[in-house]
Amino acid sequence: MIKKEEGGGLIAASNDLLIEAQWPQLKINEQRLVLYMLSLIQRGDKDFKPYRISIRELCNIMGGSRNDLYARFDEATEGLLKKVIRWINPDEKADGRIDKTTWCSSASIIPGKGCVELRFDPTLKPFLLALKGNFTTLGEARAVIRLRNHYSLRIYQFIKYNQGLANVDHRKSARVELSWLREYLAIPEGTYRLFGHFKSKVLLPAKKDIAAKTDVQFDFIQIKKGRKVQEIEFTWSKNKRYQQMELPGISDRGGQTSMEDILIMEFGISPEKKAQELVEEYGHDHIKAALQMAREYINKVRKRGQKVESVGGIARKAIEEGWKPQESIIEVEYEVQQKAVIQERIAKKQQEDGQEAEKRQKQELAMSRYESMGEGEREAFLAEFRENLVATGNTIVLKRYDEAGVTPGMVEGMLAVFIGERLGEDV
């Protein structure tokens, strides 16, 4: 059953009804992080270790640009660290024990390593394993991550829950009261009061979003009592287009992690389409063997205390060249190539430093020429400087020059640039 506490919070009293108590007030990015972390949890985990997420994968999860990615992660985890879950532990149901904790016990941003870390509270393990059971494959969880808004996520959860019950009671639809649906979707009082607005702003966008991004599609029927719509009846079906969509994480191997997921999540292969192309071109077995060699090579490099420049680059090279255990010469060749890349970077830096030094030398010699000018020559040069200010329309510096001559600040700075351009050309 589901019952409400005095503050409006929901308490999950049985695993069968987790769908009604999962996250009544989580924002979209908070939900995406929770769903992604659920995909990483294994039933055999003794404890919830910190889960590390690369910046590439975090960008896939949360969408948008990388410019404000850390800020959006910070905002989402701030919410997860504050929002409380109350639930009845099924192992101690007879005692009526209610556990109370937050979604997330810790969150870290590690810019130096290009990643973030999240950790669930260990108390949540039974609850989260039950919650994870609503998604039969990692692919479903990853598809949900890409849904556009809160309403799409909640309706998808509702459909998946009823789809699961259909395996038991063979239901083909689910009817709910409109008032219950509004509460379930956490729609504020007074928002979308007219059903036409509710339909166009909530139901239809969610229908389109779910059909475009997940393994199911749904339709609905409006049921009137009198002149007003009082109930909504949902029907659902398998999304036949889902397997052909360019989405990561689609797996037909009984809930196992797909090869696309491994390439994206472990090795940071980006964009997602590239991971699919690699699987299609080289096949599952070839990639599996190559990635094993890539992991061994990466571990060797790290054990030597060296930095791995690009995990994804190593993975792609291993796949494209077909790395195998007996072909250790590839490792040597790759190290040579890495050294060549480093040498090239050093040479480029030295060239840039040399160009900067040459530029400084020219400026110093130009200033020396200016300072050695006689009075008449300098006056002529300054007149030329003033004419340049007029010609370029630099009215602010011109006004300051006319009022006080060469003074520290903007006038002196512009004069230094002019000296470098005029007197440093043939240095």
Evaluate whether residue 341 is within a structural domain.
no
pLDDT at res. 254: 36
Strand order in the sheet with 10-12: 2-4, 10-12, 84-88, 98-102
- CA trace torsion 73, 78, 83, 88 (10° rounding): 70
pLDDT at res. 217: 93
- Distance, CA of 101 to CA of 114 (rounded, Å): 29
Evaluate whether residue 54 is within a structural domain.
yes
User: How far is C-alpha 142 from the geometric centre of its chain's CA atoms?
Assistant: 12
- Distance, CA of 394 to CA of 398 (rounded, Å): 6
| Whether residue 81 is found in the same domain as residue 2 | yes
pLDDT at res. 8: 37
| Whether residue 121 is found in the same domain as residue 1 | yes
| Whether residue 157 is found in the same domain as residue 64 | no
| Whether residue 190 is found in the same domain as residue 294 | no
| Whether residue 10 is found in the same domain as residue 110 | yes
| Whether residue 200 is found in the same domain as residue 99 | no
- Distance, CA of 21 to CA of 11 (rounded, Å): 6
Evaluate whether residue 351 is within a structural domain.
no
End residue of a domain, out of 286, 308, 327: 327
Cα–Cα nearest to 238, from 263, 211, 217:
217
Q: What phi and psi, each to the nearest 5 degrees, are found at residue 221?
A: -120, 135
**Cβ-based neighbours of 341, under 8 Å, separated by 6 or more:** 309
**Cβ-based neighbours of 256, under 8 Å, separated by 6 or more:** 138
Cα–Cα nearest to 234, from 179, 155, 167:
155
pLDDT at res. 221: 96
pLDDT at res. 261: 64
pLDDT at res. 22: 44
pLDDT at res. 178: 95
End residue of a domain, out of 112, 134, 156: 134
**Cβ-based neighbours of 190, under 8 Å, separated by 6 or more:** none
| Whether residue 115 is found in the same domain as residue 171 | no
CATH assignment of the domain containing 32:
1.10.10.10
The b/e string for 406-424 (b: 16+ C-beta within 10 A; e otherwise) is eeeeebeebbeebbbeebb
| Whether residue 297 is found in the same domain as residue 237 | no
Q: Which two tokens stand for residue 300?
A: 């060797």
Evaluate whether residue 113 is within a structural domain.
yes
Evaluate whether residue 367 is within a structural domain.
yes
Q: What is the pLDDT of residues 100-137, one digit of tens each?
A: 788 888 999 887 777 889 988 887 777 777 666 655 55
Evaluate whether residue 6 is within a structural domain.
yes
**Cβ-based neighbours of 106, under 8 Å, separated by 6 or more:** 50, 81, 117, 118, 119
Evaluate whether residue 196 is within a structural domain.
yes
| Whether residue 212 is found in the same domain as residue 278 | no
Per-residue pLDDT of the chain (427 residues; tens, 9 = 90+): 333 333 333 333 333 334 434 444 577 788 778 878 877 777 666 667 788 888 877 877 777 666 678 888 889 999 999 888 766 655 665 666 677 788 888 999 887 777 889 988 887 777 777 666 655 555 565 556 566 578 888 898 888 878 877 777 788 899 999 999 998 888 988 899 999 999 999 999 999 989 988 888 999 999 999 999 999 999 999 888 765 443 333 333 333 456 776 776 667 676 667 777 888 888 888 888 888 888 888 888 878 888 777 778 888 888 988 887 654 445 556 666 777 778 888 888 888 888 888 888 888 888 888 888 888 888 898 999 899 888 888 888 888 888 888 888 888 888 888 888 888 765 4
**Cβ-based neighbours of 425, under 8 Å, separated by 6 or more:** none
pLDDT at res. 249: 33
DSSP for residue 41: -
- Asked if residues 255 and 180 have their Cβ atoms less than 8 Å apart, the reply is no
pLDDT at res. 45: 66
Tell me which residue range forms the domain holding 46: 1-134
| Whether residue 117 is found in the same domain as residue 164 | no
- Distance, CA of 234 to CA of 211 (rounded, Å): 14
Q: What phi and psi, each to the nearest 5 degrees, are found at residue 118?
A: -135, 150
**Overall number of domains in the chain:** 4
Evaluate whether residue 7 is within a structural domain.
yes
Q: What is the pLDDT of residues 220-254, one digit of tens each?
A: 999 999 999 999 999 999 888 765 443 333 333 33
End residue of a domain, out of 134, 157, 178: 134
| Whether residue 80 is found in the same domain as residue 123 | yes
| Whether residue 304 is found in the same domain as residue 195 | no
